[in-house]
Amino acid sequence: MFVGENLTNLRIMHGYSRKQLSDLIGVTEQAVWQYENNYTSPKMEIVNQLKRIFNVKSKYFYTKDILNRSTIPGNVQVMNIAYRSKIMNVISKTQAEAKHIEYLDTFINNLTTRVKYPSMKIIKLRDEVIEYLNNSNDSRLTQINKVAELARKRLDFRKDTNDDLMFLIEKSGVFVFEKAIGEEIDAYSLWTQYERPYIILGNMKRSAVRRNFDIAHELGHLLLHYRLEFTSLDRKEHKIIENEANTFAGTFLLPEDEFVSDMKNILHVTNPDAYIDLKKKWNTSLQVLGYRAANLGIIDSKSHRNFYAALHRKGYLKTEPLDELIPLQKPMKIKSIIDLVSKKGLVDIHQMIENEWKVDISFFYRMTGIDSTFFEKYLAKKQDFGLENITDLSLRISNKDKSI
């Protein structure tokens, strides 16, 4: 029997309305509604279209899917998703991303059921931040700067580099993934109700330095805005929250003492090209370096305006020097977990993909951002000729001959 809820889950995750899906498969919107609510079952030709659109097996639609079987109800709350975006939250988009996190969270649970984690630094840090914010009389700007400095210290960052930014964020307990979210959204983050933090990085064509700022910005949301109801914010409140995360990111990426010392060597503070060596050192954009210098009072407001005008004049607001040379930091934790559980025999990845999830590899690519070739090695059939047994047997025969 066709399970309509499976179709609903896939449709929402992919961001389709019923009307959009109906146009894709050549039926009425009413028909899609009937499929999803189990009033009618689609013909096999429609099922074949659905499986191609969503990269799943036909059998996916005829038993309760992985979300129905494994997802903890209410674990992912739409209201808690924090976007790094130029636009206000679009509810349909937010619902799609919440469903995407539900799939990801279920996937991680599948992989880690038998894996013991060390205590997560990010949770200890978040609790320390909440304690500080609840009992502090400092100004909001001081609070943000102190939290950024504390985060850098607690997550074991060196004072003079951001080279291990992605690694240390993932190591702290944050799950980072890539996804083509859309042109208007750079990244988003959230805590699940069961205390798992996510950062989803969009627009994979962004430069390394812009990506680093996205990561730091979302870390700011995770620490400063824990369980904030983002969907309830008006435009002004949304801008304030975004500015707080931006301030956090600047302080986190460019620690004050080291950066002030670096700036002593900048002779022409209004010339963006004078900052290129600092960009290479900190893996941050020229624009962020200028803003941080202005925020610390190293350069005055007039000099900063001239600096920004020079960025615009040189075309650096679109593409900066070194953008093509600084390597993009990629999420690696989930790949390491997959390799570990597979090698240890804790999870049969082939079995999981084919029989538990009932999807194609391309489904996992869309969900995790991990290239399909990574998963293909786990689907390759191993042809066992019993060579180990033959070797054991020949050794026993050889030893027997020696005894004779």
The pLDDT value recorded for residue 398 is 46
What's the burial of 49, exposed, middle or buried (CB within 10 Å: 0-12/13-18/19+)? middle
Beta-bridged to residue 82, according to DSSP, are 189
pLDDT at 387 over 70: no
- Tokens 């050192």 label which residue? 281
State the pLDDT at residue 283.
97
CB atoms within 10 A of CB 243: 11
Is 60 exceeded by the pLDDT of residue 302? yes
Query: For every residue of 221-289, which 3-state class applies, written as one string?
Result: HHHHCCCCCHHHCCHHHHHHHHHHHHHHHHHHHCCHHHHHHHHCCCCCCCCHHHHHHHHHHHCCCHHHH
- Phi first, then psi: give them for residue 190, nearest 5 degrees: -170, 160
Higher pLDDT, residue 222 or 69: 222
Q: Which amino acid is at 231?
A: T
For residue 384, is pLDDT > 80? no
d(CA 185, CA 89): 10
- Report, as an integer, the average pLDDT of 318-325: 95
Average pLDDT over residues 308-324: 96
> Which residue bears the tokens 């074991």?
156
Is the pLDDT reported for residue 391 higher than 70? no
Architecture of domain 1-64: Orthogonal Bundle (1.10)
Domain ranges of the chain: 1-64, 256-316
Confidence of residue 318 (pLDDT cuts 50, 70, 90): very high
Mean pLDDT of 216-238: 93
Pairing state between β 185-191 and 197-201: antiparallel
Backbone angles phi, psi at 285, to 5 degrees: -75, 160
Q: Give yes or no for a contact between 196 and 105, defined as CB atoms under 8 angstroms apart.
A: yes
* pLDDT number for residue 274: 97
Q: What is the mean pLDDT of the chain?
A: 90
φ, ψ of residue 175 in degrees (nearest 5):
-95, 120
pLDDT for residue 400: 45
> What is the pLDDT, as a whole number, of residue 91?
57
Between 69 and 259, the more confident residue is 259
The pLDDT score that the predictor gives to residue 403 is 43
Average pLDDT for residues 247-254, to the nearest whole number? 98
| Tokens linked to 342 | 């597979």
Question: Which residue, 281, 90, 108, 86, is CA-closest to 203?
Answer: 86
Instruction: Calculate the CA 324 to chain-centre distance.
Output: 22
Identify which has the larger pLDDT, 216 or 403.
Answer: 216
Is the model's pLDDT at 172 over the cut of 80? yes
Report the alpha-carbon distance of residue 294 to residue 283 in Å, rounded: 18
pLDDT score of 87: 55
pLDDT of 402 higher than 60:
no
Q: Cα(343)–Cα(340) distance, rounded to whole angstroms?
A: 5
Q: What per-residue confidence (pLDDT) applies to 92?
A: 57
Residue that the structure tokens 């309305």 belong to: 17
* CB 115, CB 346: distance < 8 Å: yes
**Percentage of residues in the chain with pLDDT exceeding 70?**
90
Range 369-392 average pLDDT: 68
- Which is nearest to 280 in space by CA: 163, 156, 404, 131? 163
Return phi, psi of residue 82, to 5°: -105, 115
Predicted pLDDT at 231: 83
Q: Is the pLDDT of residue 197 over 90?
A: yes
Q: CA distances (Å), 61 to each of 19, 203, 360, in order? A: 20, 31, 14
pLDDT band for 86, please (50, 70, 90 cuts).
Answer: low
Summarize pLDDT for 265-274 with one digit per residue, the tens: 999 999 999 9
In this model, does residue 105 exceed pLDDT 90? yes
Confidence of residue 389 (pLDDT cuts 50, 70, 90): very low
